[in-house]
Amino acid sequence: MYIYKTGIAQVDGISGGIEAGTNILLLAPSMSSAEQLAYALIKPVPGEFSIVLSTNERAAEVVDFFKFSGCDKRFVGVIDAITKSSTPGIADTPRLMFVSSPTDLTGIGIKFSNMIESIFEGTFSDGESGLFPPPIRFCVNSISTLLMYRKLEVLYQFLHILTAKQRKIEGFALYLLNNESFDDRTLSLIKQLMNGVIEVKVDGNDNYFRVLGLKGVKADWLKFSVNKGQVTILP
Partner 1 sequence: MAGIDDMLGGGIPRGSKVLYSMEPGVNGQLFMISTIYEALAKDLSCLVILPHTTVDAFMHDAANMRGAKLELTEKKIAFIDMIDRERIQRSAPTRAAAENEWRARITKLCKENQVEVIFGYFDVICEDFGLEAGFNLFAAHNPGNSPTVILEHLNFEGDQILNRFIDTLSFDLVISIKASFGKQPHFNFFTIVHTSWAPLQKRAVPFIISNGRIVPYIPKIIVTGPPESGKSTFVASVSERGQSVDRPGLSGSSTTVAMDFGWLHWKDFDITLYGTPGQPRFDLLFPMLLKNAMGAVIVIDATKPDSLPRAKHLISLVQERRMPMVIAANKNDLPDRMGEAEIRTALALDKEVPVFFISSKKKDDVRFVLESLVDFITQYPY
Contact positions vs partner 1 (CB under 8 A): 84-85, 88-89, 91-92, 100-101, 103-107, 109-110, 112-114, 116-117, 120, 132-133, 150-151, 154, 157-158, 160-162, 165, 168-170
| CB closer to partner 1, 63 vs 105 | 105
At closest approach, how far in Å is the CB of 70 from partner 1? Answer: 30
The C-alpha atoms of residue 164 and residue 66 are separated, in whole angstroms, by 26
Residue 197's DSSP bridge partners are: 25, 212
| CB closer to partner 1, 43 vs 137 | 137
Element (H, E) at 218: none
Beta strands at 96-98 and 76-80: parallel, antiparallel or unpaired: parallel
The C-alpha atoms of residue 142 and residue 37 are separated, in whole angstroms, by 13
What is the amino acid identity at position 157? Q
Cα–Cα nearest to 107, from 67, 158, 71? 158
| CB closer to partner 1, 83 vs 179 | 83
| CB closer to partner 1, 61 vs 92 | 92
The C-alpha atoms of residue 192 and residue 203 are separated, in whole angstroms, by 28
At closest approach, how far in Å is the CB of 163 from partner 1? Answer: 12
At closest approach, how far in Å is the CB of 109 from partner 1? Answer: 4
| CB closer to partner 1, 19 vs 92 | 92
3-state secondary structure of 172: strand
The C-alpha atoms of residue 200 and residue 31 are separated, in whole angstroms, by 11
The C-alpha atoms of residue 219 and residue 15 are separated, in whole angstroms, by 14
At closest approach, how far in Å is the CB of 106 from partner 1? Answer: 5
At closest approach, how far in Å is the CB of 222 from partner 1? Answer: 35
At closest approach, how far in Å is the CB of 65 from partner 1? Answer: 26
| CB closer to partner 1, 131 vs 233 | 131
